[in-house]
Amino acid sequence: MKRITSLLFCIIFLAAITAANAQDIHRTGGQARIYSMGNNPYIIDPEFIKLNPAWASDYYNFLWGDIGSNAGAAFGDNSNGQFAGLNVRINSRFTVGGLVTVNTANPFVSISTLDPYGLVQSINNAIGINRVVPLNNNFEALASFKYGPSTFGLGIAYAATQNEFDRVGQTAEIGDASQFGINAGLLSRLTGNITIDAGVSLIFPSTSYQPVAGNNTKLSQTILLLNARSFINVSRRLTFVPLIALQSASGSIDAGGSSGDLPSLFNFRIGVGANYKIDEFLLAGGVGIDFNSQKTPSIPNVSPQLTNSSVQFPVWNLGAEWIATKWLVARLGYMASTTNSTTETTYSTTQTNQNIVTSYAPGTVTLGIGLRFGGFSLDATVNSDVIRQGLNMIGGGGPTFAYVSTSYAF
């Protein structure tokens, strides 16, 4: 099967060199496309429905999802991530949809992401036994309403698990977890040249464990996400794309009859990018700066306060997309960053240790293809080892595609 897939890829690649026709790529895309174009936040893609449900109005009558990844092949993602979604237009103004997502990696945190900061693992570590089942099969309902030049969106998501042990003559031992998420978005075309894309999300994961005897253990968290982009048409070919994203998380833990705070997290990103489109070729990307902070509170007589912070600059996300034929799209991407990290250990008001490190994320080149057959689309991030292997890929044992998304516009 792998030999057939590799041979198919060779045929597709050779056909791309000689073909000359093209088509519009409206209502196609997904995670594989974003990955292939350098994990690009500066492009328009259905994946952003997860952050701003107002985008569902542009991706109406649209069945989409991820077939998933080969373990370890997609940027360190060791999962086989899959999800499925459907958007249906009720009338010219109103679109409804739904998503079913699983506990896998995502290009960004959203209400479709389950347990983003690992509360289930934290509680299982705290109680010393895996009694709480990880969250899975998250269901999200969404709707968008178009009014004049603006579209408003709303999404609600929920997932829960429970693990109960009933023993004769004893109190039940129960481990459970749940997550509720809600988001709202605005997509406003202020003028013929300016579009505003803004979304806000709240996520509330929680988990608890009730032993046969003793005190219960509970962990809960509140996650806030703010994302805003603007698409400013400078000319027929050039679009300027500034973006701002904010993410914060805080929570509490009740264990052993006492309570405390979970580590707090904060992330803020500013980016400046552009889309340059000429005929069937799109060049998109930009540069950003990320501020990250995580503060772990002190535990009296146990551990000091620990603060980890970092500044990533520059953060490059660059990508190119070429509609080679009416059925084939070729993609190329690049991403890289430089990070200055600071670790502070606070023992008292007068004693703080500090360590500053500069590190570089090596540049990563990504490749991808898109196949178009009528309303059906299949997008794939190519495993870069395939290119390095050369002709060996025809009979080699490595996976051809690292991540695959699919969609159908009807």
> Are 363 and 334 spatial neighbours (Cβ–Cβ below 8 Å)?
yes
pLDDT at position 15, please? 37
pLDDT at position 113, please? 92
The three-point CA angle 403-265-251 to 5° equals 105
Compute CA 396 distance to the chain's CA centroid, rounded to the nearest angstrom.
31
Instruction: Give the pair of three-digit tokens for residue 304.
Output: 């000091």
Measured in degrees and rounded to the nearest 5, phi and psi for residue 124 equal -65, -35
* Among the listed residues 125, 113, 110, 109, the one whose alpha carbon sits nearest the alpha carbon of residue 253: 125
Least confident of 34-38, 285-289, 305-309: 305-309
Q: Which residue has the higher pLDDT, 126 or 86?
A: 86
**pTM for the predicted model, two decimal places:** 0.85
Q: In this structure, what is the dihedral angle of CA atoms 292, 293, 294, 300, given to the nearest 10 degrees?
A: 170
18-28 pLDDT per residue, tens: 333 333 347 89
Instruction: Give the pair of three-digit tokens for residue 238.
Output: 């050039």
21-60 pLDDT per residue, tens: 333 347 899 999 999 999 999 999 999 999 999 999 999 9
Question: Using CA atoms, how far apart are residues 342 and 305, in angstroms rounded to an integer?
Answer: 14
> Are 336 and 363 spatial neighbours (Cβ–Cβ below 8 Å)?
yes
* Among the listed residues 295, 192, 173, 271, the one whose alpha carbon sits nearest the alpha carbon of residue 236: 192
Residue boundaries of the structural domains of the chain: 2-409
Question: Using CA atoms, how far apart are residues 402 and 396, in angstroms rounded to an integer?
Answer: 15
331-389 pLDDT per residue, tens: 999 999 999 888 877 765 555 666 777 777 667 899 999 999 989 999 999 877 666 66
pLDDT at position 358, please? 73
* Among the listed residues 89, 115, 110, the one whose alpha carbon sits nearest the alpha carbon of residue 99: 110
Least confident of 66-70, 228-232, 346-350: 346-350
